[in-house]
Chains A and B, each alone.
Chain A
Amino acid sequence: MQTGIQALDYAYRYLFIAVLIALAIMVILCLIYAIKGPRIADRIVATNMMGTIVMVIIAILAVMLNEGYLVDICIIYAMISFLAVIVLTKVYMGVYREKNEKENKGEEKLS
Chain B
Amino acid sequence: MSRKIPDSEYEKTLSYKLKSWLDGTKDAFVGTVEMKPQPDFCEDEETLIKREKEKKQRKERVYDIANNIEINIFKKFYSVFCVAFCLFLVTMLLIAVSYLPSYGHPENPVNNEVSERYIESGLQETGAVNIVTGMILDYRAFDTLGESHVLFIATCTVLILLRRDRKKDEWGNDIDIEVNDRIYEPKNDLILQTAARVLVPPIIIFGIYVILGGHLGPGGGFSGGAIIGAGLILYLNAFGFKKTERFFKEKTYKIMSVCALGCYCLAKSYSFYTGANHIESVIPLGTPGAILSSGLILILNICVGIVVAGTMYTFYVMFRKGGY
Contact = CB atoms under 8 A, between A and B. Distances in A.
What is the interface of chain B mostly: helix, strand, loop, or mixed?
helix
B304 to A, nearest CB: 17
A39 interface: no
Interface residues of B, number: 22
B230 interface: yes
* Of B184, B217, B230, B233, most A-chain CB atoms within 10 Å: B184
Contacts of A98: 180-181, 184
Interface string B270-301: 00000000000000000000000000000000
A80 B229 CA distance: 11
Interface in B60-118: none
A79 B230 contact: yes
Interface string B181-204: 111111000001000000100010
B218 A69 contact: yes
Nearest to B179: A98
A87 B182 contact: no
B155 interface: no
B227 A91 contact: no
Interface string B170-182: 0000000000111
B227 A93 contact: no
B184 A93 contact: yes
A97 B233 contact: no
B192 A86 contact: yes
A76 B185 CA distance: 26
Q: What is the size category of the interface that chain A forms with chain B?
A: 10 to 19
A42 interface: no
B217 A90 contact: no
A72 interface: yes
Contacts of B206: 75
B182 to A, nearest CB: 6
Nearest to B226: A76
Nearest to A98: B181
Contacts of A87: 233, 237
B184 A97 contact: yes
Contacts of A79: 203, 227, 230-231
Interface in A72-90: 72, 75-76, 79-80, 82-83, 86-87, 90
B217 A91 contact: no
11 contacts: A72-B210, A72-B218, A75-B206, A79-B231, A82-B199, A86-B237, A90-B186, A91-B181, A91-B185, A94-B183, A97-B181
Given A83-B233, A83-B237, 8 more contacts: A69-B217, A72-B210, A72-B218, A76-B227, A90-B186, A93-B184, A94-B185, A98-B184
